[in-house]
Structure 1
Amino acid sequence: MRYIAIIVLLQIKVVCLGQVSPDSIILDRTSRHIDVVDVRAKVKFTLPDYWSGDYSVMDSLQLHSGNSYMLSEQLNKIPGVQMQQGTLSTNRITIRGIGSRTPYETNRIKAYWGDIPLTTGDGVTAVEDIGFNDIASLRILKGPSSSLYGAGLGGVLFINPFVDGPQNKVSVTSEAGSFGTVSGLMDLNLDIKGGGLSIGLSSLKSSGYRENSNYNRYNASVKGEVRLGNNYLRFLYNFRYLNGQIPSSLNEEDFRDNPKAAGGTWGIIKGFEESNRHLLGIGIQFPLENNKFNSLTVFGTGNQLKEVRPFNELGEDMFSFGVRDKYSFVGENYKVEGGVEAMNELNTVSLYEVDGEAKGLLLSRNKYNRSYFNLFGLLELKKNAFSFQASVNLNKTNYKITPGEGLGDRYSYDIIVSPGIGVSYSFSESSSLLASLGHGFSAPSLLESQMPDGSFNSNIKPEQGVTCDVGYRHKGWNDRLLMELTIYYMKMNNLLVTKRESEEIFYGINAGETKHAGVEASVNYDLVSLCNQKSATVSLSYFASGNRFERFVDDGVDFKGNNLPGIPNYNLSLGFNGQLKAFSLLLDYKRVGSQYLDDENSLKYSGFDKLSGKVTFSLGWPGVKTILYMGVDNLFDISYASMVLINAPSFGGSKPRYYYPGLPLNIYGGIKISL
């Protein structure tokens, strides 16, 4: 908290000294002075074409190429990115395989909704329960290429919640599909004096394909911006209520013969999770003199969680508060940015006995406190066809674990400095070569850093690594062709892996050294340019990787040379998007390669392929636009695992449960009306 207080006090001083008169702001975009549009654009995470790191962009059209709620189908089209989705509330996002060892959630990557970190102080990220109407676009930076947002080994996922341009508009979407699934979205966008206001509502209900998989989710959001003189005030708020049953994973026999079943005793005790989450962020972007500007965001998160499992009932109350401040100076051929981000989070975790409908006896109650402080800087230089970027991130992370009524166990990791450099060279207006080298790290989560007796594991260390990228980008044929190719190599120390003592008890250990290498490629080509309401586009994305233990001995077993489990050896996605007047057709084919299920490489899942499609029809009247659509997922009804659990435990004679079955053939249809 002391870090946050210092930032706020310094920022108040900067705001007071940094005000400038309206006459000193030059709004001509050809001027070297920063303009208001540029100030606002900084929140949208725009990246120049000469950015040396590897990144991918997904616009609103791509996001809505499937149903109205499954983000995994869209993210899996991005090379290097995989979102395994066991259920609507159980998933795991990995970038270049980083985060594959986290059992039931997303870790090792960072995500932002606007300027609000979606990643908790514990390092856990949940993007799947943000409604589609709160996602205007996505931008993913792979690897530790952006020190401005931490130096995570996996990368950063930015969710832009703001729709460009002023508008007075109301839109309503209603959709129904297989397994009793019903979803709805409502958006109200209003122009107000000096800014805009948006209100969004969404709901999702499903009976589920499997036993014990009912799901209910409600979202409400308020987004807005107001111009205050030369400054812009932005605010974001999102509320989410979730009640979802947990069918858990299956053993191989049930996965093959009875995929609808709930795993283990989860169906018997009707395991579920229920939570309320609030996100709030208030930010101000204000210009200073001489091409300088500053942005300050204060954010907070509150979450209450109840989860009933076969082995105990979990109750968790979490609150976090943070500040992010970024200062920018823009010159004719260079840009300098720097700032700080700090967060403090307090979790109170209670475990109870399972006693039917009633809450059982209290087993334990612990308090966890995690705080971090990031100091970051970035320098960009551009001269003709050549550009150079240098960045640095300094991190300090602290933990405190207080078991029961004890005094608490404090621990502070050493300061980690993560530098990075990148260069790009444009051969022409259409082709460029890119290269970057950067250091990244991931601190252990609270679950990984806690021993089974509740004490802090002072022997565990943050995982650290160095990534090298070389890439090529090409735009050709009047921008109808876009090609990207990236080759990367990563060397990691102290890889964090999960050590399991039982189904409910697991903690982290360090696995020595690992190496990761891969290739990412994407091609988009407009077969027919948009003309007379006709268009046709084909797309291809491909990702292949090799990931091995260089040094890892566990319980006397040497895993050197083995492949890391939970990472498919390749992913392939082929897409087609065609439009003929009011009709459009989207087709998507995916092939997911094989992956190992355990560190010993004794078990292997062979992978799968599936085909999906969607047809839309647009109707237009003065002031009203209507879109009717129908889609099908898993057209050939193949049986596949949509998520796997690596190193699944086997206790008491039970068979290990590695597999989450994916949905069989399912259809959906809906209508969207915009006024």
Structure 2
Amino acid sequence: MKYSVSMLTAMMMASVPVYAADMQSSELASDATATAMPDTQISEGSTSDIQTSDRQTVQQLPVITVTATHESRDILDVPTAIYKVEMPDQQNDANIDLAEVLQGVPGLQVKDRENFAQDLQLSIRGFGARSTFGVRGIRMYVDGIPATMPDGQGQTSNIDLNSLSNVEVLTGPFSSLYGNSSGGTILTETRTGEGRDSVTVGVGAGSHDQQQVTLSAQGGADQGNQPAYYISNSYMQTDGYREHSGADKILQNAKLTWDLDDGSEINWVVNRVKINADDPAGLTRSDWQSNPKQQASYLKQFNVRKEIDQTQTGLTWKKPISDHQSLYAMTYLGQRKMTQYQSIPASTQSNPLHAGGVIDFDRKYYGVDLRWMAEDLFSHLDLALGLAFDRMDEDRQGYENFDSSGTYGVKGDLRRDEDNTMWNLDPYLQASWAFNPAFSVDAGLRYSNVRYDSDDHYVTTNNPDDSGDVDYDQLLPSVALNWKISDHLNSYIAYGKGFETPTFTEMAYRPDGLSGVNTDLKAATSDTYELGLKSRSYLGLITGALFYTETQDDIVSADAVNGRSTYRNADQTLRQGVELAWQKELWKDLSLQASYHYIDATFDADIAATANNAAIAKGTNIPGIAKNQAYLGLNWQASEGLRAGLDVRYVDQVYVDDDNSDAAPSYTIVGMNVGYTWILDNWQINSYAKVNNLFDRDYVGSVIVNDRNGRYFEPADGRNFSAGVSLTKKF
């Protein structure tokens, strides 16, 4: 199905409210989603009076500003789609992972694997759905610092929900402003210290012997050259929902902010995460249906698990140099160590080309982003000119996962030893020009250049040198036209070109079995077209977007050659769909959030058969993507006293492989939470309790796409509970 312009316009107009004149003042709910441009910020902004038809004067809704295009603008004036979640001041959930926060965002599919060893499974408009671990195809940032490596592989494990302020999800074509692997962009921001010094101590517990302890301190600055601070520490442990899925996690985050007398703002962030997690892996359909809590009996001998230790720090600096110009700089560095024990039998590793059953790497990474910005330079023209550089150096080894006695789950003989280097250097230019009171145009241009270099040090008679290097580069234009139909209704049309290189894992080996990296594997490129409407009225904030994305050379699985997983390119894939979101304050502290998205993601050309894979016909669904997803949330979010919330989520079926041979069925689940806040002079007590999957639905939370052993299904938890209490003292 392909949309014509007239069809798109008609469908979009169906989602726009009929305007009435009697608008009333309203605050957006603090945990709601909103549609805007990259780096959205929901703020009170300014209000202005408008006249109704009977001359009654009422207030306009608060202005919502967005800043990800490196300038602050009203959401209605920015021509692309983004959805923002503001974290509530009081804790309403366990604050364990990002899945708790992002379930209501249209265009984004968040699948909890119930597996701390493999991170969440995230996809935006279908990009990233095939990732079997971590996050790929999506750019992620924490306080402006990349959480995605130059090759496009990222993780959410270092995001501290206890200190989180907001999350912004960019789903539209302007994601290309962020360069490689930006099929979508997720930007998170931690809290900035403010007001009087305070200390908060919290404890929480939940199903499966889940326990959490948190300690945080924060305070504002009395003078311009003194820092505001926010420091958070947490420890969590759980036995896990499934057999062999226990984990413990230490997470520490600190942020210092200086507002200097010359107008400069400096943010310094330090973050550390340490995880030890067992891996239950997936189940076949029959195993899932017989006992979703089990680990496949064959896997128990391997003691599959992962150990992660990551520390990073970053500094951002923004300084005005005139009334209309400013400079921005960001620099960061970090180190990530990981050891993963896999479920690979010794017989498979007997092949001399096999890399072993233990992955062990030490990765150092760093980068800078420098930017000059000008607002209203001349004739309502805003400009941003910048240069981004990122580099990763990785010392990677592979070992047998058994010892001389044949015992699994230990580090045995060396089978892989290499140094891998990846870097990118991206100049970029962005502009916004309001050439008419009703029309404005936004444009961006980024040149993304990514280089891979691998030096193989494990070279034997039967294991030849697999060293190699390859470069990828792409010019990424984006452009959009915004039409201000009225003060409360905007429409836009946008285009952007995307670029996604293979990750190092995907390009490490060749499908033809020859030595060296897979230089034949191309980077995927995509063309996205989007048509949208945004309305802010007495009916609330209503947004809608229709999108159409054609991708060339999408990266898909090929054969396993000599025990090595390999990848190839699909000629063309197609993603098209609609995103709708609505949020409204119904009465006092009661708010509503609703969203829906539909995506039709298919292979748009035949893919030839290989030795072990059947041909894929044009029109086959891309696996890992739910066609329909809907969310409805009601929240009573008072700053003091009783709080309560109810949410309902529907997710369509998800195919498990390129052949569409099986699918995880659709499901609808319900969650409820309740809390209470007491404020007594300088003391505050917050409590919460939550039940997820209220009706104990048996469903699959995520699938392992194209799993070669048929263990596709990762069952979700049944009815589960969490509760906690925190005590805050202000000084």
TM > 0.5 between the two?
yes
2:608 corresponds to which residue? 554
Could you tell me how far apart the structure 2 residues matched to 1:164 and 1:472 are? 36
1:461 corresponding residue in structure 2: 522
RMSD (Å) for aligned C-alpha atoms: 2.4
Contact kept? 2:93, 2:689, Cα under 8 Å? no
The Cα shift of 1:291 comes to 1.8
Partner of 2:84: 57
1:634-673 equivalences in 2 (<5 Å): 634-650=693-709, 656-673=710-727
Deviation at 1:46, TM superposition (A): 5.3
For 1:291 and 1:206, the matched residues in 2 are separated by 52
* Contact preservation (8 Å) 1:148, 1:338: no
In 2 relative to 1, CA 646–47 (structure 1 residues): closer, same or farther, beyond 3 Å? Answer: farther
Match of 1:328 in 2: 373
Work out the CA distance in 2 between the residues paired with 1:626 and 1:163. Answer: 21
CA contact (8 A) 2:173 2:529 kept: no
Paired letter, 1:380: S
Relative to structure 1, the CA distance from residue 47 to residue 302 in structure 2 (aligned partners, 3 Å threshold; closer, same or farther) is farther
Q: For 2:424, give the aligned amino acid.
A: Y
Judged with a 3 Å threshold, the aligned counterparts in structure 2 of structure 1 residues 197 and 41 are, in CA distance, closer, same or farther, namely farther
Report whether the alignment pairs 1:279 with 2:318: no
Distance 1:405 1:604, change over 3 A: closer
Work out whether 1:602 is the aligned partner of 2:656.
no
Query: Are residue 317 (structure 1) and residue 362 (structure 2) matched?
Result: yes
Name the counterpart of 1:568.
Answer: 626
1:345 counterpart letter in structure 2: M
Could you tell me which of 199, 218, 242 is aligned with 2:250?
Answer: 218
Partner of 2:74: 48
Q: How far did residue 524 of structure 1 move? A: 1.4
- Structure 1 CA distance for aligned equivalents of residues 483 and 446 of structure 2: 25
Residue in structure 2 matched with residue 25 of structure 1 by the alignment: none
Instruction: Tell me the residue number matched to 2:55.
Output: none
User: Quick one: which of 470, 473, 479 aligns to 2:534?
Assistant: 473
Secondary structure (helix, strand or coil) at the match of 2:126 reads coil
Offset at 1:228? 4.6
TM-score (norm 1): 0.88
The verdict on how the C-alpha distance between 1:172 and 1:336 changes in structure 2, with shifts beyond 3 A counting, is same
In 1, the alpha carbon distance for the partners of 2:282 and 2:90 equals: 28
Q: Any idea what the Cα deviations from partners look like across 1:87-116, whole Å, max 9, x if unmatched?
A: 234221100111111222210000111121
Q: Please, which of 84, 88, 107 is the counterpart of residue 116 of structure 2?
A: 88
1:5-84 → structure 2 map (5 Å cutoff): 48-49=74-75, 50-61=77-88, 64-84=91-111
User: What is residue 429 of structure 2 aligned with on the other side?
Assistant: 377
Q: Post-superposition shift, 1:541?
A: 0.6
**3-state DSSP of counterpart to 2:400:** strand
- Residues in 2 aligned to 1:92 and 1:294: alpha-carbon distance in whole angstroms: 36
C-alpha spacing 1:283/1:518, structure 2 compared with 1 (3 Å): same
Q: Decide whether the 8 Å contact of 1:396 with 1:413 is kept in 2.
A: yes
Give the one of 385, 402, 412 matched to 2:455: 402
User: Is the CA contact 1:245–1:271 (under 8 Å) kept in the aligned structure 2?
Assistant: yes
Q: In the TM superposition, what is the alpha-carbon distance from 1:579 to its structure 2 partner?
A: 5.1
Q: Does the C-alpha gap of structure 1 residues 65 and 492 become closer, same or farther in structure 2, counting only changes over 3 Å?
A: farther
Q: Which of 413-422 and 636-645 deviates more?
A: 413-422
Q: Which residue of 2 aligns with 1:350?
A: 397
- The answer to whether the aligner puts 1:446 opposite 2:504 as a matched pair is yes
Matched residue SS, 1:266: helix
Cα contact 1:524–1:537 (8 A) shared by 2: yes
Question: AA paired with 1:648?
Answer: D
Q: Which residue of 1 aligns with 2:57?
A: none
Q: Tell me which residue corresponds to 1:7.
A: none
1:113-155 deviations in whole A, cap 9, x for unaligned?
A: 1121000123111124422123211111113304442264421
Over 3 Å counting, the alpha-carbon distance change for 1:285 and 1:408 in structure 2 is farther
1:62 and 1:74 in contact (8 A); partners too? no
Instruction: Look up the SS of the partner of 1:447 in the other structure.
Output: helix
Counterpart Cα distance in 1 of 2:712 and 2:500: 26
Per-residue deviation at 1:600? 1.9
Aligned match of 1:431: 489
| Structure 1 residues 275 and 44: CA distance shift in structure 2, 3 A | farther
How far is 1:166 from its partner? 4.3
Q: Work out whether residues 472 and 501 of structure 2, in 8 Å CA contact, stay in contact via their aligned partners in 1.
A: no
2:667 pairs with 1:615: no
Structure 2 residue aligned with 1:260 = 293
Distance 1:147 1:258 in 2: 43
**1:583 Cα deviation after fit:** 1.2
CA distance in 2, matches of 1:42, 1:542: 24
- Pick aligned residue for 2:445 from 374, 380, 392: 392
Q: Deviations over 1:474-531 (max 9, x none)?
A: 1111xx6111111000011000112242897322210110111010011112221x2x
CA distance in 2, matches of 1:123, 1:167: 41
Amino acid at match of 1:304: K
Q: 8 Å contact 2:138–2:182 — kept in the other structure?
A: yes
Which of 149, 157, 160 aligns to 1:120? It is 149
Name 2:213's counterpart in structure 1: 184
Cα displacement (A) at 1:190: 2.6
1:504 and 1:257 map into 2 onto residues whose CA distance is 30
Distance 1:508 1:305 in 2: 23
Is 378-387 or 414-423 further displaced after alignment?
378-387
Compute the displacement of 1:171 (Å). 2.1
Q: Distance in 2 between matches of 1:223 and 1:114?
A: 9
Q: Which amino acid counterpart does residue 73 of structure 1 have in structure 2?
A: E
Asked if the contact 1:147/1:376 (under 8 Å) is kept, the reply is no
Structure-2 separation of matches of 1:347 and 1:133: 30
Segment drifting more, 411-420 vs 435-444: 411-420
Name the CA shift for 1:179/1:373 in 2 (closer, same or farther; >3 Å). Answer: same
Quick one: structure 1 residues 41 and 470, their matched pair in 2 at CA, closer, same or farther if it must change by over 3 Å? closer
Consecutive unaligned residues in structure 1, runs of 5 or more: 1-28, 31-39, 651-655
Q: Is the 8 A contact 1:206 1:215 kept in 2?
A: yes
Q: Distance in 2 between matches of 1:526 and 1:674?
A: 28
Name the counterpart of 1:198: 230
Distance (Å, rounded) in 2 between the aligned partners of 1:398 and 1:143: 26
Contact preservation (8 Å) 2:446, 2:475: yes
Corresponding residue for residue 20 of structure 2? none
Contact 1:68–1:183 (8 Å) recurs in 2: no
Equivalent-residue separation in structure 1 for 2:175 and 2:125 (angstroms): 16
Offset of residue 186 of structure 1: 2.1
Q: What corresponds to 1:35 in structure 2?
A: none
Percent of residue pairs bearing the same amino acid type: 20
1:24 corresponding residue in structure 2: none
Count of residue pairs brought into register by the alignment: 626
1:145 aligns with 2:199: no
| Distance in 2 of aligned mates of 1:214 and 1:418 | 43
Q: CA deviation at 1:414?
A: 4.4
Q: Is the 8 A contact 2:175 2:183 kept in 1?
A: no
1:261-283 Cα offsets, whole Å, 9 max, x none, are 11354332221111110111122
Query: Cα gap change, 1:504/1:624 in structure 2, threshold over 3 Å: closer, same or farther?
Result: farther
Which secondary structure does the structure 2 equivalent of 1:511 belong to? strand
Q: Which moved more, 1:145-154 or 1:331-340?
A: 145-154
Matched, 1:591 2:646: no
Match of 2:40 in 1: none
Flag structure 2 segments of 5+ consecutive residues without an equivalent: 1-44, 47-65, 345-356, 460-464
Q: When the two structures are superposed, what TM-score results if normalisation uses the length of structure 2? A: 0.82
Output one character per residue of 1:210-238: Cα deviation in whole Å (capped at 9) or x when no partner. 11111011011221122455233321110
| Bigger strand fraction | 1
Structure 1 position 674, deviation (Å): 2.2
CA distance in 2, matches of 1:514, 1:539: 32
CA distance in 2, matches of 1:409, 1:643: 35
